[in-house]
Amino acid sequence: MLRRQAARESAARTYARALPIVPVRARGLTIEGADGRRYLDCLSGAGTLALGHNHPVVLEAIRKVLDSGAPLHVLDLATPVKDAFTTELFRTLPPGLADRARVQFCGPAGTDAVEAAFKLVRAATGRTGMLAFTGAYHGMTAGALEASGGAGDVRVARLPYPQDYRCPFGIGGEHGAELAARWTESVLDDAKSGVPSPAGMILEPVQGEGGVIPAPDEWLRRMREITAARSIPLIADEVQTGVGRTGRFWAVEHSGVVPDVMVLSKAIGGSLPLAVVVYRDDLDVWQPGAHAGTFRGNQLAMAAGAATLAYVRQNGLAERAATLGARMLAHLHRLTEEFACVGDVRGRGLMIGIEMVNPEATRPPGATGPHPPAPSIATAVQRECLRRGLIVELGGRHAGVVRLLPPLTLTDEQADAVLDRLTDAIASVAA
């Protein structure tokens, strides 16, 4: 079956293309292949499955809609299911946005919500260009793609995203973050910089696909100041960081920054496709029909999403992600001392990255700082994890970062099993 699908589908298909698994059953952290093998799934639908696979409250919510006789397709009409979803969503929004929020259903994917956000801020400001950051990932449609460094069709100015490990300025820490902020400021202040008059700035509070790079809180606050001073709407892309994953319900909450616009998808649909853009009401310049679409009223996704949002909130899963994530990071940090090929370990909550490097690569004499990224070592670690029944994903500018995005329902025992298998896999590659 794997070979037949490989012949039928484009090789461009997503993420898990390297995983030789035909999933047939799943529950929680565990996924079972057609060959009967079971795996611990730390990819979680690329961070979608906040409650893991087939959580009972999610299944129950979906079943309830199916059994109720409610229409499954309703375009954008108001329904009790949609009402329950928006009520739950608004309950979770950061203070400062919650009381003045509007929501626009987009759909069905994160990239659609990114496009909607771009369109909204362009309409609201009358400007066209966008500001985005090095290493960003926002999706695969034209505008989102351009903001991700690809070949899209929106004019995007790319500004430095601060990071400690491979600091673009070679200094890292708060100094690197401050320099990145000043760089942004000076580019915006320079009339000759060629930066288009920006309609908005889009950023990820933690870059996910870019290699799990948490933005320093201070830098986020500076971006808020800089954009506010210039009346540039700030768009937080929380597609991957949202719904408790980083240890707060929304990752911007760590810094106290209140964005003007939030782009949400993945976990908000409780494992089904759902994407929304949430924004402050004064940006709502859209006339009726300005942003239409056939599949924006997915009743099953809204029901699954409402159940997920409520479960995460009521069971304190964001706090749980913070404590469990800190414990896992502490364990993984020790690996940087044990194995020369583990260059860096970083993350926030249950969004964790391990950057594999090549300590044996020849470098110019006197070179300091990190060793070169090692995508081949990361791929080998991924393969060895799979052999041990653990699914992890790769990311980063050079695909040299092993990423963990386990469900927030991960138990202590499961976390230990994940760490054991991962450590063992790294040891086998380093040997």
Kindly list the residues in this chain that would bind ligand PMP in the complex (CB under 6 A): 46, 109-111, 114, 137-139, 204, 208-209, 237, 239-240, 265
Of 211 and 358, CB closest to ligand PMP: 211
State in angstroms the smallest separation of the CB of 149 from ligand PMP.
Answer: 13
Distance of CA 221 to the CA centre of its chain: 20
State in angstroms the smallest separation of the CB of 110 from ligand PMP.
Answer: 2
Of 92 and 240, CB closest to ligand PMP: 240
Please tell me whether residue 118 adopts helix, strand or coil conformation. Answer: helix
Residue 100: partners with Cβ closer than 8 Å, 6 or more residues away: 280, 281, 282
Of 14 and 362, CB closest to ligand PMP: 14
Q: Given strand 390-391, what is the order of strands in its sheet?
A: 23-27, 30-33, 38-41, 390-391
* Contact in structure between 103 and 263 (CB atoms under 8 Å): no
State in angstroms the smallest separation of the CB of 48 from ligand PMP.
Answer: 8
State in angstroms the smallest separation of the CB of 265 from ligand PMP.
Answer: 5
Residue 179: partners with Cβ closer than 8 Å, 6 or more residues away: 162, 169, 171
Cβ-based neighbour number of residue 157 at 10 Å: 18
* Contact in structure between 107 and 264 (CB atoms under 8 Å): no
The residue number with the shortest CB distance to ligand PMP is 110
Of 110 and 349, CB closest to ligand PMP: 110
State in angstroms the smallest separation of the CB of 423 from ligand PMP.
Answer: 26
Residue 223: partners with Cβ closer than 8 Å, 6 or more residues away: 181, 184, 201, 203, 234, 257
- Which of 56, 58, 51 shows the shortest CA–CA distance to 303? 58
Of 52 and 208, CB closest to ligand PMP: 208
State in angstroms the smallest separation of the CB of 85 from ligand PMP.
Answer: 18
- Which of 309, 244, 248, 232 shows the shortest CA–CA distance to 274? 309
Of 52 and 143, CB closest to ligand PMP: 143
* Contact in structure between 351 and 363 (CB atoms under 8 Å): no
Please tell me whether residue 156 adopts helix, strand or coil conformation. Answer: strand
Per DSSP, what are the bridge partners of residue 261? 235, 279
State in angstroms the smallest separation of the CB of 238 from ligand PMP.
Answer: 8
State in angstroms the smallest separation of the CB of 376 from ligand PMP.
Answer: 23
Alpha-helical regions (H) of 160-298: 173-189, 217-229
Of 137 and 250, CB closest to ligand PMP: 137
d(CA 88, CA 193): 44
Of 239 and 332, CB closest to ligand PMP: 239
d(CA 58, CA 62): 6
Of 86 and 240, CB closest to ligand PMP: 240
State in angstroms the smallest separation of the CB of 344 from ligand PMP.
Answer: 20
d(CA 423, CA 400): 16
